[in-house]
Amino acid sequence: MNRPSFFLLGASKAGTTSLHYYLAQHPDILMSDPKEPPFFRLEYARGPEWYWRNYFRRYAGQRAAGDGAPQNLHLPFVAPRIAATAPAARLIVLCRAPVERAVSAWRHNVRLGVEALPFPAAVEKNLRRLDQGDTLECDDSVRRYQEISSREANAGLQRTYGFYVEPGHYAQHIERYRGLFGADRILVLFFDDLVADPSAVTARVVAFLGLPPHPLRDARPQNEATSAGAARLNSLIARLPGVRLLPPELRIRVRALVGRAGKRGAAPPPVETAALRRLVDYYRPHNRRLAELTGRDLEAWSA
């Protein structure tokens, strides 16, 4: 194997970090390290061999290997790159109520110090960008995205794009990948099910990948909301020189300990009800299309 056999596409803030952690406990699965390779977004010119050696360097004959970058779902220029690199891959999509997901993403950026706008203004900025046609589908907008990344790294991308709104266009993203891979190679899951029964959802993914069942050693959720200080400390630790040489299990334990410590007394930034209502109205047609695609009753998302 010299390519991933599956992609945990996203969405961001929909439980991908937890599912990545659960799948990594299976002896026949190798998950990307770090969890979110930026290859298809920012490093594609380096080529697939570099990608495999850099992010799957612990490969030791596992039957399946998975890329866990949730940005791959909502960035339209990424899908054809994945199809060209791993055309036989299977795809996993996690969907969360899109308004909840947007709030979680905004709070995460606030904690990291990369978002200074209040929630309504941040969402309005994102909607205005989309209305102006900056949807990262044409070559010029992709080049701008990559230039901002090279100049200002991830913080610059978040400040410029936000990505609060379009990750919740689940049906649109799923249909894009269906057109490239076919419907039978995509498994759509839901955040609420993962929270309620991590073992059952993980078992569904394992079966979808054609692997034998394996019990979870640890079903605790990962990457839960924490304080601003803890979030920034974890971000700093992840960027320390040589930290990737440490075993993934150790890094996960450190991140979880810091996060749990930060949860004590950490109040999330408030969100105005009017902004939530506006987003609920905005997402109604998107939710209806996803319900049609999946057969899932999603009326609660539009309440």
Residue with tokens 């791993």: 86
Strand, coil or helix: what is 235? Answer: helix
User: Is the Cβ–Cβ distance between 160 and 99 less than 8 Å?
Assistant: no
| pTM across the whole model | 0.88
pLDDT at 258: 63
Ordered per-residue pLDDT tens for the chain, 303 residues: 789 999 999 999 999 999 999 999 999 999 999 999 999 999 999 999 999 999 999 999 999 999 999 999 999 999 999 999 999 999 999 999 999 999 999 999 998 889 999 999 999 999 999 999 999 999 999 999 999 999 988 889 988 999 999 999 999 999 999 999 999 999 999 999 999 999 999 999 999 999 999 999 999 988 765 565 666 676 777 777 777 777 777 777 677 676 666 655 567 788 999 999 999 999 999 999 999 999 999 999 988
For the purposes of burial, counting CB atoms within 10 Å of the CB of 215, is it exposed (0-12), middle (13-18) or buried (19 or more)?
Answer: exposed
Half-sphere exposure of 97 (CA within 13 A, CB side): 18
Cα 59 → chain centroid: 22
Q: Which residues neighbour 36 within 8 Å (Cβ) at sequence distance 6 or greater? A: 68, 69, 70, 71
Residue 72 to residue 114: CA distance in whole angstroms: 21
Q: What share of the chain is helix, strand, coil (3-state, %, to 5)?
A: 60, 10, 35
Helix (H) or strand (E) segment spanning residue 254: helix 248-263
